Amino acid sequence: MRYVETPFDQETPDKIIGGKLTAREGACYSPTIFMTFIITSSDGFVLSRFLIQLGIAVLLIIVGSVFAFKKVDKDHLEVYLVKLIKFKLRQKTFTYDKY
């Protein structure tokens, strides 16, 4: 039997949503599930409309999965995008006063 040493103070997020997802991952999936439910709830069944709704639902789930699990430079994707937007919108010229 092989023994593996693990760090004592290793912080891992708690899997609180059904023991499978962290709170952040659940927050990334909840708008996706809500939008999918709104898009797919319709009055009647028409095959072409169903296929379009199914395509949109799959696309939303893929986007939610990317936001839930993708990391860029050790930051989650949403944190990276916020930092990128702040960087792009920052003040680009600085004025310095002489003493």
Residue pLDDT, tens place only, 74-86: 888 888 999 999 9
pLDDT score, position 10: 65
**Is 36 inside any structural domain?**
yes
Q: How far is 77 from 12, CA to CA, in rounded Å? A: 18
Give the E-state strand segments of the chain in sequence order: 71-72, 75-76
**Is 13 inside any structural domain?**
no
**Owning domain of residue 39:** 23-88
**Is 35 inside any structural domain?**
yes
Q: How many domains does the chain have?
A: 1
pTM of the full structure? 0.64
pLDDT score, position 83: 92
Residue pLDDT, tens place only, 54-69: 888 889 889 888 888 8
**Is 66 inside any structural domain?**
yes
**Is 95 inside any structural domain?**
no
Residue-wise pLDDT tens for the chain (99 aa)? 677 776 776 677 777 777 788 888 888 888 888 888 887 776 667 788 888 888 888 898 898 888 888 888 888 888 899 999 999 998 877 777 777
Burial status of residue 64 (CB atoms within 10 A of its CB: 0-12, 13-18, 19 or more)? buried
Residue 89: other Cβ atoms inside 10 A:
8
**Is 6 inside any structural domain?**
no
Phi, psi of 21 (to 5 degrees): -120, 150
